[in-house]
Amino acid sequence: MSHGIPQEFIDRIEAIIPIYYKTRFWNLLSKEKETTFRVNPLRTTPQKVLETLERDRFRLKRVDWYPGAFILMKGRQKDLEKTGLYQNGQIYIQNLSSMVPPLVLDPKPGERVLDIAAAPGSKTTQMAGLMRGSGKIVAIDSDRIRCERLRANVERLGALNVEVLRDFGERYGKRNPESFDRILVDAPCSSEGQFCLKNPGTFLYWKLSRVYEAVKMQKKLLTAAFTALKKGGTLVYSTCTFAPEENEGVLDWLLSQHGSDVRILPIELPFSNQTAPLSQWDGKIFHPAVSRAKRILPTETMEGFFLAKIVKQ
């Protein structure tokens, strides 16, 4: 059933995904995710969006664990993107898994927040809404084109408390020690959680060497973020990949580097498609604290994800 997916990836997934979920996992891999979006509270309300779109013959389903999010049950994404709601920044199309890290980070109005790998801005603008436009978010990306897209999304959604910087996150954090109350490191990764058999481009270039390349950058970004975090501050580390090297392995490495300065908090997620992290991989036994992180298992509306909530002691 490889359909062009590398056999090495298949073998690894067989050792990562829980036994009870494997059949569902491989079935889901052949399906495209349903369209989901969230309402931008800086521009409108969920009720107004629901009334407007249903009047335009779309049919929506509310996400029970996130009142500001909807699943598109009837209608096409490309038609949704033509609506005034989308073009005026009142809604943002985003996978449900991608909405979880900002909710776990839980930034508050008035705080200083860093989004260290921010483009295209889905989580940046979500956090701006959670903060009700108050406080400050510094959103960083090093790539010029991605940074332009980030800036455009920030402007479209009216996130006036966001400062967009084209900079290297691994450098910025070190230049600004203990400057932020909360930090999001939604790290560049091998994107295994987005693989879809109907879109070979999602997995065509997967190689184990790319996983190891991602790990190097993830460690640099996480080190910089931990440096920039105030004592007592909170950091969320997340990826959209299944690779243990990029998830449990990076978290285990952070604990080995900073020891008692790192406290990993348990995460409670309001949905059933979740599982505990791996306790070991490829002969490496992970630090017991790694078990407090979470893996999100894919569904029809959610990509595979990993996230950890970290406090700087």
Residues labelled catalytic: 240
Cα 79 to Cα 91: distance, rounded to the nearest angstrom: 13
Strands 36-39 and 66-74, bridge-based pairing: antiparallel
Q: Tell the residue number behind the tokens 């080190």, with chain if given.
A: 223
- 181-220 burial, b if ≥16 CB within 10 A, otherwise e? bbbbbbbbbbbbbbbbbeeeebbeebeeeebeebbebbbb
- The token duo for 143 is 């790539």
Side chain identity at 280, as an amino acid letter? Answer: Q
Sign for the CA dihedral angle at 127, 64, 61, 197 comes to: positive
Cα 100 to Cα 98: distance, rounded to the nearest angstrom: 6
Please name which of 208, 222, 231 lies closest in space to residue 307, comparing C-alpha atoms.
Answer: 222
Q: Tell the residue number behind the tokens 């979740």, with chain if given.
A: 274
Phi, psi torsion values for 282, nearest 5 degrees: 55, 40
- Find out whether 287 and 252 touch, Cβ atoms under 8 Å: yes
Q: State the maximum Cα–Cα separation within the chain, in Å, rounded to a whole number.
A: 57
Cα 38 to Cα 116: distance, rounded to the nearest angstrom: 22
Cα 100 to Cα 97: distance, rounded to the nearest angstrom: 5
Which residues neighbour 76 within 8 Å (Cβ) at sequence distance 6 or greater? none
Cα 97 to Cα 102: distance, rounded to the nearest angstrom: 10
Cα 73 to Cα 32: distance, rounded to the nearest angstrom: 14
